[in-house]
Amino acid sequence: MILRVLLLWLGLTAAPSSFAADVIDANLNQLYTNATEPNGVLSIYKYQVKQSQVVRVYLHSDNSSSVRPLLAVFREQRAVLSVQLPIRLEKNYFYDTVARTLCPFGNETLPANVGTDESAGAMTVELSCFSPTPVSYSLKAYLLDNFELTLGEQMSLSASPSQPVYLRYRIPKRLDSVVVIVKSNDEICMTVSIQMIGCPVFDLDNNVIFSGMHQTMTKQGAVPIQRSNLDDFYIVFVVKPNDDICSEMMSIQPASGPVHLDTRIKNFTVVIHELPTDSAYLVPMGVAVAAILVIYVLAFVHVSWVSIRDRRRWEEEGRAAVFGIDEETSSLNNPHYSYGATATSRSTISGSTEASDLPSSSGVSTIAGQEPSPDDINQPGPDLEISNEDADYDTLEDAKTDKSVARSKVNLMVSDLSLKPWKLRDKKYHLYTWNLLTIALFYALPVVQLVLTWQNTVRLSGDMDLCWYNYLCARPLFGIFAFNSIFSNIGYVMLGLLYLGMVKERELRYRRTVGAVHASVKTEFGIPMHNGLLYALGIAIMMEGILSASYHVCPSSSNYQFDTSFMYIIGALGMLKIYQLRHPDINANAHVAFGILALFIFLAMCGVYFNDVPFWAVFSVCYILVMFGVSVEFYFKGQWRLNRHIYYRLRHYWRSTTCISRIIPRFKGRFIFLLIGNLLNLSFVFLGIWVMPKDFPSFLLLPFTGNLFLYLMYYIFMKLLNKERLKMRTVLFLLMAIGCWVIAMWFFINAVSDWSETPAESRVKNHECILFNFYDNHDVWHFMSALSLFMSFSIFLSLDDGLQWVRRDKIVVF
């Protein structure tokens, strides 16, 4: 122990003689060109600087080496900063020039209990090098006059990886928040950091992320700041040695060896603009809610007008339809109903005569496909003796046979596909509603928890590259960076709720108007009334708003599936609803439909992380298999099942048909539609394989939206082809939906961010607000797409109203 103390004393006593200092009284704003003393002898430059002054030091050396670098120490009264030349950044990048702003110690940067002295104090620069030969250098210390930014004033700056820059700004008390906007004409990668006032300032590439908020940028960057979080701060600009963080990794060629660079200089401008105060947000938010409430009022007026008009017209047409059947129609007053397996229903299925033309053996006239209505399911009635002949028909085996015969007809009628009891079918379709509510509950709660946790992570870490916002129109509120992008989803929720109300009103109106004519014929005319899928659509629209808002808490590739999952569900439910209109008995069960949707949502998630050839091969196989299954179901109307008996059915079909009948399709209309649809879907698959888009979830929306539109157009075309007129309100809803979709898609295509690109590249697309200084392009897309969905699915509410008093055995299936 004594030996160690002795050696330490000897080293301390020997140090002054080994590193004798050469002190130079230096002046600010003067360039000093000199050389170091050999063997580490110090050269000290002493400056007189006031605490309120901000000093920047420039140092350059041509012949220093990484083995024996030039060492520089900048000493202030309360801080020390050291650098070496050449300065090494990352692994292989060396710079012979360095410029650093020394941490200012003005009155505002000191704690309240620390006194200040505005008199001049000493600031020293100590230079040394352990090279046996002198190392030349150039040194200059100068004052910064424009260190503090002012609101609205643009300042031009330049920086390099070894010459970072930072400025200061104080938010006035009259403002709630501001946005720092940085723009450049070049694509050099740079980090913009917002740090608290204090020392040290982290202004190098290897430490800039240690404090405050930070984001990368190339041509454009913006950082919104709330005064409640930070009212006085530094804005730090650090240029990256390379562009690998800001650009696609595959385009980067890393340096193979040491590289000396001093020409990587980025020129840029910075300006600070005030953001609307929190109270000013009430105006755009109130306007949006008021506009939606106007739609509520218009919908109420429309529904009231339709209710009054249709009730009077339906009663007139209904009476004419009932009393115009024939003299046996009077027996329809009997409250007992056939369930589609009577002798008269068999005659209708065979296509020979109508049910009303043949009297039943019990003296009760029945109609094919007759079933209890919603109001009459549990209605009691007097007992009626059924003859043995009718009892022979009313068996499960005969009912199955009748359905098989009916569905194999070339010209199918709705009565052929509505043989099951109404109550059984209605329970089936209401399962969509209950299943969707269960899915929404278990899906949404973890999503909301996750994104709020993620938002908190961003706030604590300060890494603004974790979320892909439109920072030029990010309106912070309640600790959320872009509250406007969340609030703009209110259209989905409110219009989805309005849609549910309209569906309920339609259901009640149907019961009142149809029941007012004659209770026993409710379910013998028109398209069967089932609202389960419509309720599911309304809930899905509302959930799209909730999950889209959750996604926009921190938009990124990791949670983009939150935004798209219910878009897939909406598209699928729309197609199922159209199919259910004239195929009520054979539509898909809820668990099967949601199981297939789960597969596509899983594929969408995989497409974000595994967008390569093996993934596209698996996706193509899955998509084609689903496409084949849907085509078989649509063509054969449920007569073919893909199960273990398929081989025997194919062998029987092959032996029982001729060669020509195998080639020529039996159902030509269905075949042509499926041919067009499958060609378009195959084109979609081949396009995906060829392009391999980075934004796979958005690409997957194409078949859902495209097939829904194609199916709706096919349905309308077939209605017109079969001389079924469209109601004027249906045409108006269709035209308004198309117009809204065109406008919405324009705003969607002109995106203001893109998570499939790097955060810096995405910020190039950032754009100022376009509406009320609060909403951007994507927010308008939210409003317009919500309105488009509402208009599109409102078509379903009146699409077949013209068939209300047309018998089901006269309504063609297509």
CA 271 vs. chain centroid, Å, equals: 31
**Angle CA 629–688–559, to nearest 5:** 90
Does the bond joining 86 to the residue before it have cis omega, within 30 degrees of 0? yes
What value does the mean pLDDT take over residues 333-341?
A: 40
Q: What are the distances in angstroms from CA 780 to CA 15, 552, 785, 804?
A: 71, 14, 8, 38
Task: Return the minimum-mean-pLDDT range out of 50-59, 252-261, 476-485, 535-544.
Answer: 252-261
Confidence of residue 494 (pLDDT cuts 50, 70, 90): very high
User: What value does the mean pLDDT take over residues 474-502?
Assistant: 93
Which whole number is the average pLDDT over 280-289? 94
How many CB atoms within 10 Å of residue 378?
A: 7
Q: Which of 133-142, 245-254, 777-786 has the lowest mean pLDDT?
A: 245-254
Range among 103-112, 359-368, 620-629, 802-811 with highest mean pLDDT value: 620-629
Query: Among 114-128, 398-412, 446-460, 739-753, which stretch is predicted with the lowest mean pLDDT?
Result: 398-412
Q: In Å, how far are 73, 82, 165, 174, 677 from 144, measured between CA atoms?
A: 20, 20, 11, 28, 69
The strand pair at 190-196 and 213-217 is best described as antiparallel
Angstrom distance (rounded) from CA 101 to CA 195: 15
In this structure, which long-range contacts are made by residues 707-711, counting pairs with CB atoms below 8 Å and at least 24 apart in sequence? 707/571, 707/575, 707/677, 707/681, 708/571, 708/574, 708/575, 708/578, 710/676, 710/677, 710/680, 711/575, 711/578, 711/579, 711/677
Query: What type of residue is 192?
Result: V
State whether residue 181 is helix, strand or coil.
strand
- Distance of alpha carbon 429 from alpha carbon 531, whole angstroms: 7
Whether residue 803 contacts residue 724, with contact meaning beta carbons closer than 8 Å, is answered with: yes
Cα–Cα separations (whole angstroms), residue 492 to 473, 529, 787, 789 = 21, 26, 8, 9
What's the structural domain count of the chain? Answer: 2
Q: In degrees rounded to 5, what are phi and psi of residue 686?
A: -65, -35
Say yes or no to pLDDT of 344 above 80.
Answer: no
200: preceding bond cis by omega (within 30 degrees):
yes
CA distance 813 to 800: 13
Query: Has residue 473 been placed in a domain?
Result: yes
pLDDT at 338 over 90: no
For residue 25, give Cα distances in angstroms to 30, 41, 644: 12, 17, 97
pLDDT, the chain, mean:
80
Q: State residue 322's pLDDT score.
A: 61
What dihedral angle (degrees, nearest 10) is formed by the CA atoms of 635, 639, 644, 648?
Answer: -100
**pLDDT, tens digit, 9 for 90 and up, residues 357-403:** 333 333 333 333 344 444 443 344 333 333 333 433 344 444 444 56
State yes or no: pLDDT of 315 exceeds 70.
Answer: no
Q: Examine the pLDDT at 273 and tell me if it is beyond 90.
A: yes
In a domain, 231, yes or no: no
pLDDT tens-place string over residues 401-424: 456 666 666 678 888 888 888 888
Q: Distance of CA 274 to CAs 177, 212, 224, Å?
A: 6, 20, 9
Q: Give the C-alpha separation, 245 to 417, whole Å.
A: 60
284 domain-assigned:
no
Q: Of 364, 355, 358, whose CA–CA distance to 336 is shortest?
A: 364
Buried b (16+ CB within 10 A) or exposed e, 149-187: beeeeeeebebbbbbbbbbbbebeeeebbbbbbbebeeb
151: phi then psi, degrees, rounded to nearest 5: -60, 130
Residue of higher predicted confidence among 9 and 507: 507
The gap between the terminal CA atoms of the chain, to the nearest Å, is: 100
The amino acid at 307: S
The owner of tokens 């159902």 is 667
Alpha-carbon distance 242 to 431, whole Å? Answer: 56
Dmax (CA) of the chain? 130
Query: Using only C-alpha atoms, what is the Rg of the chain?
Result: 38
Percentage above 90 pLDDT, the chain: 41
Tell me if 217 is assigned to some domain.
Answer: no
| Domain contains 313 | no
| Torsion angles phi and psi, residue 143, rounded to 5 | -85, 145
Band of the pLDDT at 53, cuts 50, 70, 90?
confident
What's the one-letter identity of residue 702? Answer: L
- The yes-or-no verdict on residue 81 having pLDDT over 80 is yes
Each residue's pLDDT tens digit, 609-653: 888 888 999 999 999 999 988 888 888 776 666 666 666 666 666
Residue 574 in this model has a pLDDT that exceeds 70 = yes
Q: Which of 631, 623, 591, 630 is nearest to 607 (CA)?
A: 623
Token couple for 711: 């199916």
Say which residues have a Cβ less than 8 Å from residue 385's Cβ, sequence separation at least 6.
362
Question: Mean pLDDT throughout 660-666?
Answer: 66
Cα gap 722→620, rounded to integer Å: 36
Query: For residue 512, what pLDDT band results from cuts at 50, 70 and 90?
Result: confident
Can you tell me the distance from the alpha carbon of 778 to that of 685, in angstroms, rounded to the nearest whole number?
A: 28
Torsions phi, psi of 158, nearest 5? -145, 150
d(CA 531, CA 201): 64
Q: Is 37 helix (H, G, I), strand (E, B) or coil?
A: coil
Please say if the pLDDT value at position 351 is more than 50: no
| Band (736; pLDDT cuts 50, 70, 90) | very high
pLDDT one-digit tens code per residue, 83-99: 888 888 877 788 889 99
pLDDT band at 185 (very low <50, low <70, confident <90, very high): very high
Query: DSSP E strands: which ranges in 385-486?
Result: none
C-alpha to C-alpha distance for 711 and 690, rounded to whole angstroms: 26
Q: Are 556 and 466 in contact (CB under 8 A)?
A: yes
Three-state SS letters, 215-239: EEECCEEEEEEECCCCCEEEEEEEE
In a domain, 6, yes or no: no
CB contact set of 346 (below 8 Å; sequence gap of 6+): 393, 398, 402
Instruction: Please enumerate in sequence order all residues whose Cβ is within 8 A of that of 422, keeping only pairs 6 or more positions apart, or say none.
Output: 371, 372, 373, 374, 377, 523, 528
| pTM value > 0.85 | no
What angle, rounded to 10 degrees, do the helices at 590-609 and 613-636 form? 160
Structural domain harbouring 495:
429-610+725-814
What's the full length of the chain, in residues? 814
Tell me if 711 is assigned to some domain.
Answer: no
Is residue 404 one of the residues assigned to a domain? no
Condensed to tens digits (0 to 9), the pLDDT of residues 120-171 reads 577 889 988 888 888 889 999 999 888 999 998 999 999 999 999 999 999 9
- Structure-block tokens of residue 358: 């043949």
d(Cα 221, Cα 761) in Å, to the nearest integer? 10
Q: Are 197 and 109 in contact (CB under 8 A)?
A: yes
Strand locations in 114-219 (E): 121-128, 136-143, 155-159, 165-170, 177-184, 190-196, 213-217
Mean pLDDT of 696-720: 92
Out of 486-490, 555-559, 660-664, the most confident range is 486-490
pLDDT confidence band for 472 (50 / 70 / 90): very high
What is the sign of the dihedral through the CA atoms of 296, 298, 303 and 308? positive
Give yes or no for residue 251 having a pLDDT over 70: no
pLDDT score at 410:
67
